[in-house]
Structure 1
Amino acid sequence: MTIANSSESPTRLEGKYSAMVVCWVLGLGSLVSWNSMLTIGDYYYNLFPKYHPARVLTLVYQPFAVGTMVILAYNESRIDTRKRNLAGYTLFFLSTLALLVLDLATSGKGGIGNYIGICVIVAAFGVADAHVQGGMVGDLFFMCPEFIQSFLAGLAASGALTSALRLMTKAAFGKSSNGLRKGTMLFLAISTSFEFLCIFLYALIFPKLPIVKFYRSKAASEGSKTVLADLAAAGIQTEDSQGAEDDDKQQQQQQRLSTKQLLIQNIDYALDLFLIYVLTLSIFPGFLYENTGSHQLGSWYELVLIAMYNVWDLISRYIPLIEIVKLKSRKGLLVATLCRFLLVPAFYFTAKYGDQGWMIMLTSFLGLTNGYLTVCVQTEAPKGYKGPEQNALGNLLVLFLLGGIFSGVALDWLWLIGSGKKF
């Protein structure tokens, strides 16, 4: 296989900051549709008050995300990353548009039929998430750490952006006739536009940036097949040759660590991500919507809690850029992750005895630790591996992350025990 420009140094290539911006937008597009669903939870609670939308929709989302991710992670070395990511962003675009069309077609009415329709669309979100998040993380794992940090910050930015928009639309439309629905329609229209932008950026802009071409060429020279379509889209020709070059390629493939070996070597990182999101999703968003009671903020209370989580989750994903405060120790990361479980009794007693100020502070800390630890783990884990192994490891870690989210969503239902609310 011959690949152009593979000998250049990434420090001499242009496009690093452009690539970071694109990664940020692609991260935002990976979750903006789903975060829109979470942020307009008050609208769905108004339509379907008896169906626990925050909990049910999240529980519908996760099996499809995890199930699809298992299949994709097992076959990652044979899957064209370009087709995978474009398929994911396209599915996000179509699903978000379908959500908007469904609400318009039914004139914003409730009922079990419409609820089932929303659940089907949410399942499509889960499939799209597995395609995009696993594909992008695997792709960025063999590039510089700043790219994966930017992508992860974009993921958090989607939550902060949707929360900010939700507060503004509630203020703008809150007192008007059918104001809640008008704000929701604006939300979904903006999300649909972002997803279309991501398709454009990934298909036409990202693969042509010099530094991206360098890293993908390097990964291809190390035996990665997942980047070939992206290299072709960037105008870099690859061709098979015979003899010693084929022998070198076979030797590289034989020397590559298996998925099992990668998992064993990085089991602590995988457990970190699993446990981080088990805790976070056992509290956010279901507990915040249904178990925090009524306070002086009234109907704004849940929106403020969601917004504070999202804002601090975003801020904390930039903290590891300061080397002196970045947690790099593998044991330290595991201890910090386990210590977060003290938040469970903290949330329980605050909801029972505390006022809204303490709950806002706790929710902010939940977001702060979630974002910080996520970035620390995912920027440290891929070091010391070749391109194909880094791609495989990225997919494995996303699988454990989604598994943690699924488990957390299931555990979130336990908060209903003794609360007086029906399951």
Structure 2
Amino acid sequence: MSDMNVDPNETPVKLEGKGIAILVCWILGFGTLVSWNSMLTIGDYYYTDLASSGKGGIGSYIIICIFAAGFGVADAHVQGGMTGDLAFMKPEFIQSFFAGLAASGALISGLRLITKAAFDKSPNGLRKGTMLFLAISTFFEFLCIFLYAFVFAKLPIVKYYRAKAACEGSKTVASDLAAAGIQTDPNQRADVDAKTPDRLSNKELLFKNIDYALDMLLLHVVTLSIFPGFLYENTGKHGLGSWYPLILIAMYNISDLIARYIPLIESIKLESRKWLMIVVLSRFLFIPTFYFTAKYGDQGWMIMLISLLGVTNGYLTVCVMTVAPKGCTGPEANALGNILVLFLLGGIFLGVALDWLWIIGNGSF
């Protein structure tokens, strides 16, 4: 590769590739969660025990758990790395990335409904539909690898922000640029270092932004304590039969996706740290509401409620992730992005762990 100098003082408005970068960020977000959402959406495949050809057994169960754990490890690395990378760039990039995360759930749910409809009546149809479903998901994963390696990193606006972060002291970004054959001017880096105040350590950065971190944790504790396990265990018998949980998951994912574009309207974007925390805490009311709706309400109320869960999850996630890095230097924004994803995934873990509580008293014990 030929070396290429990037001037971090160049005005980003003059750089090309913003629109393409936003599109690629969306696709990368989609690819980040496509495998995880595939695992979630084929719950009916595991509940009918077809993952082991109907034979069951502890061996098959352990293998499935290992694969699920592998998806979790991969998701944590990719989502954390991408969020940290985009946090010091334009807010539109991180918004598009998180919209892509939601889109993976929405599109995967739609694809699952299509494959179920196509193979529902055929012999061994559930297995055939799931295999096709997973093959299509795998294709998108390889597409994202190509886009990140050969398209995104070469966009002028991406080079600008990475060079700027490297000059501000971000060692990981500097290493990425060096690996790509792109060099920043060491004199400019020294000049920026002289003008930049002492940077916050990761511990100091966490305490300074602890409310944002707790927002991400609590937001996803509530969401994952309900979605998707509750939808398979506690929705009762309805006219939609085996389609009912799949439709509920699809409605959540579509609502979540749409809501992640609402913060693009500045007049209704929530930026107050106080009100973000208040609204996040108010979502705990969803837990008793879902319980009583499942017990006394019909499927129409449940569809409306799951849609509201998705709207609040998508809207608040994007608000926090785009507001938190404001005012940070490149290295601080990079680290803060990693910290917020750590708390996000911690919330997912706790939510999934609490999800089993829904089965108490419903005859599963």
Residue 127 of structure 1 deviates from its aligned partner by 1.1
Distance 2:304 2:106 in 1: 16
TM alignment of 1:299-378, pairs within 5 A: 299-378=242-321
Task: Count residues with an aligned counterpart.
Answer: 362
Is the CA contact (8 Å cut-off) linking 1:213 and 1:234 kept in structure 2? Answer: no
Residue 232 of structure 1 deviates from its aligned partner by 3.5
Other-structure match for 1:34: 36
Question: For the structure 1 residues 107 and 409, does the alpha-carbon distance in structure 2 shift closer, same or farther, using more than 3 Å as the test?
Answer: closer
Other-structure match for 2:331: 388
Question: For the structure 1 residues 339 and 234, does the alpha-carbon distance in structure 2 shift closer, same or farther, using more than 3 Å as the test?
Answer: same
Question: For the structure 1 residues 211 and 400, does the alpha-carbon distance in structure 2 shift closer, same or farther, using more than 3 Å as the test?
Answer: same
Distance 1:133 1:371 in 2: 16
Deviates more, 1:141-150 or 1:167-176: 167-176
2:363 counterpart of 1:420: yes
Other-structure match for 1:191: 137
Q: Deviations over 1:110-146 (max 9, x none)?
A: 3321111111111111111111011000000000000
Q: SS where residue 123 of structure 2 aligns?
A: coil
2:264 counterpart of 1:264: no
Q: 2:92 aligns with which of 146, 167, 170?
A: 146
Q: Where does structure 1 lack aligned partners over 5 or more consecutive residues?
A: 49-102
Is the CA contact (8 Å cut-off) linking 1:24 and 1:154 kept in structure 2? Answer: yes
Q: 1:158 aligns with which of 99, 104, 109?
A: 104
Residue 233 of structure 1 deviates from its aligned partner by 5.3
Q: Deviations over 1:152-178 (max 9, x none)?
A: 000000000110001111111111111
Residue 109 of structure 1 deviates from its aligned partner by 4.9
Other-structure match for 2:16: 14
RMSD of equivalent CA atoms: 1.9
Distance 2:231 2:181 in 1: 49
Q: SS where residue 310 of structure 1 aligns?
A: helix
Distance 2:40 2:294 in 1: 21
Is the CA contact (8 Å cut-off) linking 1:27 and 1:151 kept in structure 2? Answer: yes
One-letter identity of the residue aligned with 1:323: E
Question: For the structure 1 residues 407 and 178, does the alpha-carbon distance in structure 2 shift closer, same or farther, using more than 3 Å as the test?
Answer: same
Is the CA contact (8 Å cut-off) linking 2:230 and 2:358 kept in structure 1? Answer: yes
Q: Deviations over 1:228-285 (max 9, x none)?
A: 24324554224767xx965864885x81101111111111111111110000000001
Is the CA contact (8 Å cut-off) linking 1:135 and 1:395 kept in structure 2? Answer: yes
TM alignment of 1:4-403, pairs within 5 A: 4-47=6-49, 109-232=55-178, 234-238=180-184, 249=193, 255-403=198-346
Question: For the structure 1 residues 349 and 249, does the alpha-carbon distance in structure 2 shift closer, same or farther, using more than 3 Å as the test?
Answer: same
Question: For the structure 1 residues 117 and 245, does the alpha-carbon distance in structure 2 shift closer, same or farther, using more than 3 Å as the test?
Answer: closer
Is the CA contact (8 Å cut-off) linking 1:207 and 1:231 kept in structure 2? Answer: no
Distance 1:172 1:255 in 2: 60
Question: For the structure 1 residues 331 and 118, does the alpha-carbon distance in structure 2 shift closer, same or farther, using more than 3 Å as the test?
Answer: same
One-letter identity of the residue aligned with 2:253: N
Percent identity between the two aligned chains? 72
Distance 1:40 1:127 in 2: 20
Distance 1:245 1:290 in 2: 56
Residue 352 of structure 1 deviates from its aligned partner by 0.5
Distance 1:291 1:20 in 2: 39
Is the CA contact (8 Å cut-off) linking 2:238 and 2:299 kept in structure 1? Answer: yes
The TM-score, its normalising length taken from structure 2, stands at 0.95
Is the CA contact (8 Å cut-off) linking 2:252 and 2:307 kept in structure 1? Answer: yes
Residue 406 of structure 1 deviates from its aligned partner by 0.9
Is the CA contact (8 Å cut-off) linking 1:10 and 1:211 kept in structure 2? Answer: yes
